[in-house]
A and B are shown apart, each in its own frame.
Chain A
Amino acid sequence: MENPFGKITTYKELAKYFHHNMSLMYGGFGGIGTPPSVIEFILELGIKDLYLIGNDTGFPNIGIGKLISHERAKKITVSHIGSNPIAGKLMNEGKLEIEFSPQGTLVERIRAGGVGLGGIVTDIGIENEQTKQGKQMVTINGKKYLVEQSLTAEVSIVYAKQSDPYGNLTYDKSARNTNPLVAMAGDITIAEVDEIVPLGSIHPEDVITPGVFIDYIVPTQGVNWKWVWQ
């Protein structure tokens, strides 16, 4: 494949972007749409004390759950940990700090980061002590809202179906989920893809994430876990 933008790369070349204590944002919902090979690579690199940002903690051996089960994260901003009991256990032991954000709010915070805004205002969570704690309230047109800060990360990792050499992405069904938002919110964004196709072969109308947001593209080595339904 021609590589005129230098974005198509190898896992080995990506190693320099990962370090201890970094912030890492990941796409996926219950592991579906989370890039399996990049996660495996981060595990192999021995990266620890990660600040993770994503929808949920996956399952113990699925998706981002692998990094959590191996105690590589010190903090996570997430909407749900119910499918990964190890996350709950680490939280109760004081080994993992968890910031819960309502799912719709969390993805808008990620989107806000990705589109260059400082935050969002929402009425979700306004009546819950846990979700409004320490947050500013504003009144707009007589209605009260919470101010929720935007989120970005040093590195974002996403999974997509197809990429061209510029990083124009298409996704696969419900594996799209948070990926297009996470893709925009990384200082460096890495797309792990099923297929790299020639420039021009994805119709511009079909592009979901414009390649301008994508820094690196690596081919997937495939899902290396068993799904809950298998």
Chain B
Amino acid sequence: MAIEDRNRIAKRAAAEIEDGMVVNLGIGIPSLVLNHLQNKNNIMFHSENGIIGMGPSPKKGEEDENLCNAAGYPVTIRKGASYFDSTIAFAIARREKLDVTILGALEVSETGDIANWIVPGNRVPGMGGAMELAKKAKKVIVVMSHFDKYGNSKIVPSCSLPLTASSCVDLIITNVGVFHVTKNGLILTDIFLPYTVNEAKKQTTAKFSVSPTLAIIE
């Protein structure tokens, strides 16, 4: 995906975050969300390697090899931060202290199931902390390309890959649009130009309805 598409997705995801929330960002597009928070200065970022209160990347030359995010890249901390061991990092998830988690996915189903840890016989990265984060965060936002590398829809009627967690995703943001997962199925609430609703329908194997207040985003 082009960087403009990735940034547009990240910016839309950032709009879901309110000041003062506890937020966990995954690797890849989720990490771009940091660049779109504008004046929200009191968000407490959680990192599953044992930090709450993570700040932006340090300047070149000011990196601390023992202060990194879950991907292994240097970060800083903000006032009010704390360090803790890995059990506490996941206590925060399991005790439902995370307001929002934003993560990537291989597939998301129309009932909010997410698959993002294994492609049997092919890519097997392991689940890391994704099962806890996806199952226990109060709000789960998936940001991803709408299509896999063969051009197939990644929003599907039901996942064919082994699940990370079931019925947990609240919002799916792709380069095509924004889909809310509700009891009555998926609802398209935003469409990213140049995509149209008709094209979104053609390109998505999962069924969805269209919000009467659909936002059209440049």
User: A residues within 8 Å of B by Cβ?
Assistant: 29-33, 55-56, 59, 78-83, 88, 91, 98, 100, 102-105, 107-108, 111, 122-125, 127-131, 171-181, 208, 223, 227-229
Contacts and interface: CB of A to CB of B under 8 A. Distances in A.
B50 A103 contact: no
B90 A129 contact: no
A104 B85 contact: no
A80 B85 contact: no
8 contacts: A56-B128, A82-B125, A88-B124, A107-B86, A174-B50, A177-B89, A180-B85, A227-B65
Interface stretch (B9-17, B141-149, B157-165, B193-201): B157-165
B126 interface: yes
B72 A108 contact: no
Interface stretch (B32-40, B129-137, B177-185, B205-213): B129-137
A177 B127 contact: no
Given A29-B70, A229-B63, A174 B49 contact: yes
Q: Please list the 4 inter-chain residue pairs (A to B) with the smallest Cβ-Cβ separation, ordered nearest first.
A: A104-B90, A82-B125, A30-B72, A103-B129
A125 to B, nearest CB: 6
B109 interface: no
B162 A129 contact: yes
Contacts of B66: 32-33, 172-175
Contact of A30 (B71, B83, B131): B71
Interface residues of B, number: 43
Contacts of A181: 85-87
A59 B68 CA distance: 15
A104 B72 contact: no
Nearest to A63: B72
Given A81-B124, A104-B94, A125 B131 contact: yes
B67 A173 contact: yes
Interface in B90-145: 90, 93-94, 118, 123-132, 135
Given A174-B50, A176-B50, A178-B86, A80 B67 contact: no
A228 B70 CA distance: 13
B83 A173 contact: yes
B22 to A, nearest CB: 16
A95 B70 CA distance: 27
A106 to B, nearest CB: 8
Contacts of A81: 124-126
Nearest to B64: A173
Given A80-B127, A111-B87, A124-B132, A174 B68 contact: yes
Nearest to B27: A82
Contacts of A100: 126-127
Contacts of A123: 135
A81 B128 CA distance: 8
